[in-house]
């Protein structure tokens, strides 16, 4: 029977496998039944002596020492870039200038200097060569990157088209601007009509009234027939606090728009003068704008007085009746015996005409009066004016 060696004394490289065993140093042939024994395989291991191994190592070291020295290439140092500028004076802050110092410039230069390449020798050479010919920075994309990719030509065309206003939007803007412009123009026109024309007409009427009174005071004799547009009298309406010159004719631009009252004294509409022994003294005036001397004649009641002052005398009329509205073609109200006035026989009458309703010229309002007093200027001012 083969004896079992201790584990620490067994050398797997030099000791052969035990006969009848399975390669286990702790089991012998006597431990395996005969019916389970397997045929043994003889394995021979050639062990090289330790002295020979050491000799081979010494031989390789000597061979390496005897070989010619290889050329070693020092790795090129990274390009430090252009030299830093010499320290200079700090620029004075001013409009559009941000103050900085030499340390700021140095940090900026360091930040702009590219990092040295980290690849192999060939890559470092290419990087050093490329530093002398730096490629320009890539231009910014014309269109914004959408979903991580630049837009296609069709997408860019659609985006540009979407940014443009549609025809309806442009048309609405144009119409809106036209309406705004029209509104501003109308507002300016209304301001001119309702405010400025009154100021201007009052100035012109006042100047004409002064001229008339100056002519009377200077002793100028008025001709029998007055020229169109020439003032010849002054009308007083005490109840309405109206003092307005009376001029010959009813021309809109020469008489009425200048804030004066116009006398129907020409053509087929010619009426009597205040000094005539009989007849109808008819006049017209604006109710709105251009001085609006007849603005409130609708407030006149029977018995209210109207005084017409001329170079020779004061003629006082008392209001008798009113026609609130009639057609502009109704000229019968200007007859010597006015139709609709209630007068039935010739006399010395007064007719005031103006437009109605207010701010329109669709119809005419008529106010009639009858002379109740005639006083020469030599007798002084009538009682209605003295008060």
Catalytic residues: 286, 355, 364
Asked whether the CA dihedral 128, 131, 132, 138 is positive or negative, the reply is positive
**Other residues' Cβ atoms within 10 Å of the Cβ of residue 339:** 14
**CA 93 to chain centroid:** 36
DSSP H helices, 100-143, are: 102-112, 121-130
Q: Can you tell me the distance from the alpha carbon of 310 to that of 291, in angstroms, rounded to the nearest whole number?
A: 21
**Rounded Cα–Cα distance for residues 309 and 274 (Å):** 9
Which helix (H) or strand (E) covers residue 38, if one does? none
SS3 126: helix
Residue carrying the six token digits 């109808």 = 280
C-alpha–C-alpha distance, residues 369 and 320, integer Å: 5
3-class secondary structure, 169 = helix
């Amino acid at each position: 029977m083969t004896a079992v060696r201790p584990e620490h004394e067994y050398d797997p490289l030099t000791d052969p496998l035990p006969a009848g065993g399975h390669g286990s140093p702790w089991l012998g042939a006597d431990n395996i039944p005969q019916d389970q024994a397997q045929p043994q395989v003889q394995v021979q291991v050639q062990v090289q002596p330790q002295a020979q191994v050491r000799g081979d190592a010494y031989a390789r070291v000597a061979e390496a020492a005897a070989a010619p020295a290889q050329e070693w290439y020092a790795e090129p140092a990274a390009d430090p870039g252009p030299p830093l500028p010499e320290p200079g004076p700090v620029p004075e802050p001013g409009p559009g200038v941000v103050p900085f110092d030499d340390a700021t410039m140095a940090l900026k230069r360091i930040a702009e200097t590219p990092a040295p390449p980290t690849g192999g020798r060939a890559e470092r050479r290419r990087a050093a060569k490329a530093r002398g010919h730096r490629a320009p920075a890539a231009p910014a994309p014309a269109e914004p990157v959408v979903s991580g990719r630049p837009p296609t030509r069709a997408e860019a065309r659609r985006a540009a088209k979407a940014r443009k206003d549609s025809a309806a939007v442009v048309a609405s803007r144009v119409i809106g601007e036209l309406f705004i412009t029209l509104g501003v123009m109308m507002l300016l026109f209304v301001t001119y009509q309702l405010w400025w024309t009154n100021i201007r007409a009052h100035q012109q009427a006042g100047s004409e009234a002064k001229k008339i009174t100056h002519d009377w005071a200077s002793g100028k004799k008025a001709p029998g027939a007055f020229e169109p547009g020439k003032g010849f009298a002054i009308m007083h309406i005490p109840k309405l606090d109206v003092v307005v010159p009376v001029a010959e004719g009813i021309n809109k631009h020469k008489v009425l728009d200048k804030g004066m009252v116009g006398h129907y004294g020409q053509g087929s509409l010619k009426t009597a003068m205040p000094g005539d022994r009989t007849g109808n003294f008819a006049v017209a005036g604006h109710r709105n704008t251009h001085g609006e001397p007849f603005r409130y004649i609708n407030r006149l009641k029977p018995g209210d007085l109207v005084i017409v002052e001329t170079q020779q005398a004061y003629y006082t009329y008392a209001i008798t009746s009113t026609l609130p509205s009639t057609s502009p073609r109704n000229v019968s109200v200007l007859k010597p015996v006015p139709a609709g006035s209630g007068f039935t026989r010739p006399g010395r009458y007064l007719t005031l005409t103006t437009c109605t309703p207010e701010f329109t010229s669709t119809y005419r309002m008529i106010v009639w009066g009858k002379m109740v007093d005639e006083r020469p200027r030599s007798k002084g001012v009538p009682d209605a004016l003295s008060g």
